[in-house]
């Protein structure tokens, strides 16, 4: 999962779908500041290539990332050398500081393999929040939304590179097993690689209970940014009024 081959073409494929990480970051920041107007520090958990992190850094005085996959983390660090991208596992990280906003975007939490793992991750994120800080988690699909045998396809062209991506999803226990095949055409030739993604189909109630048990309120907001909605919570404690 998240090999160097994938890190190279990851954003290109989703740009071909119209994904706009900067616009999403602006929307999430606006949401967070409606709930915590003085918010000025953010941690982006599972920040990947830093596609959200860079735009977040233009909005918040402090914006840092956390990423477990070395190829993605290294690309983010090269791209944003002025930003801190921590190496860490979202289930058990401890950075020794707290933030006004913690985000976990683009369904990254779905890569955790069990409900206890997901609960541990939400608890770790909440521990890194200041009192009245905002937690935003974008989930993977809920179990009732899964479609057995779903096939998706993308064709992306940028400069002298063309990428074709085809995915096929099946149910594996209570998870989506998604086989994703890539063809990458460049002046030097055509190469092919395969990624196997397994994303757990946690229920809405499991996410909500994880937020509550981590000391956060919780609201599920369906729809944007990618159709799967957002879980948004506020950590209990006195209101943050400024620095």
User: How high is the pLDDT of residue 2?
Assistant: 78
> How far is CA 82 from each of CA 4, 43, 169, 197, rounded to the nearest angstrom?
22, 15, 38, 31
Long-range contacts of 176-181 (CB under 8 A, 24+ apart): 176/110, 176/140, 176/141, 176/146, 176/200, 176/201
Name the nearest CA neighbour of 85 among 50, 121, 33, 59.
Answer: 50
CATH of segment(s) 4-142+202-234: 3.40.50.150
Q: Which residues of the chain have pLDDT under 70?
A: 1, 238-243
User: How high is the pLDDT of residue 238?
Assistant: 61
Which H helix or E strand runs over 207?
A: helix 204-213
Name the nearest CA neighbour of 233 among 25, 29, 32, 21.
Answer: 32
The crossing angle, in degrees rounded to 10, of helices 4-16 and 70-79 is 70
Please tell me the distance from the alpha carbon of residue 82 to that of residue 5, in angstroms, as a whole number.
25
Tell me the helix, strand and coil percentages in the chain, rounded to 5.
30, 35, 35
Per the CB < 8 A criterion, the answer to whether 225 and 232 are in contact is: no
The 10s digit of each residue's pLDDT in 97-138 is 999 999 999 999 999 999 999 999 999 999 999 999 999 999
User: How high is the pLDDT of residue 241?
Assistant: 43
The 10s digit of each residue's pLDDT in 146-164 is 999 999 999 999 999 999 9
> Domain spanning 144-200: which CATH class is it, in words?
mainly beta
- Model pTM above 0.85: yes
Domain boundaries, the chain: 4-142+202-234, 144-200
């Amino acid at each position: 999962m998240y090999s160097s081959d994938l890190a190279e073409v990851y954003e290109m494929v989703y740009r071909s779908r119209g994904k706009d990480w900067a616009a999403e970051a602006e929307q999430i920041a606006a949401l967070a500041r409606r709930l915590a107007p003085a918010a000025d520090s953010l941690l982006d958990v599972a920040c990947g290539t830093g596609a959200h992190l860079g735009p977040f850094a233009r909005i918040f005085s402090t914006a840092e990332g956390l990423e477990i996959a070395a190829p993605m983390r290294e690309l983010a660090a090269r791209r944003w050398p002025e930003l801190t991208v921590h190496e860490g596992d979202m289930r058990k990280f401890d950075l020794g500081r707290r933030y006004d906003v913690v985000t976990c975007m683009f369904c990254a939490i779905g890569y955790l393999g069990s409900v206890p793992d997901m609960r541990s991750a939400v608890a770790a994120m909440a521990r890194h929040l200041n009192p009245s800080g905002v937690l935003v988690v974008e989930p993977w699909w809920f179990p009732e939304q899964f479609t057995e045998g779903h096939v998706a396809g993308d064709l992306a062209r940028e400069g002298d590179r063309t990428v074709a991506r085809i995915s096929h999803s099946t149910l594996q226990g209570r998870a989506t097993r998604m086989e994703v095949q890539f063809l990458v055409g460049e002046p030097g030739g055509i190469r092919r690689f395969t990624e196997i993604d397994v994303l757990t189909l946690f229920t809405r109630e499991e996410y909500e209970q994880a937020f509550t048990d981590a000391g956060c309120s919780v609201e599920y907001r369906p729809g944007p940014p990618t159709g799967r909605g957002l879980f948004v919570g506020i950590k209990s404690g006195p209101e943050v009024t400024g620095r």
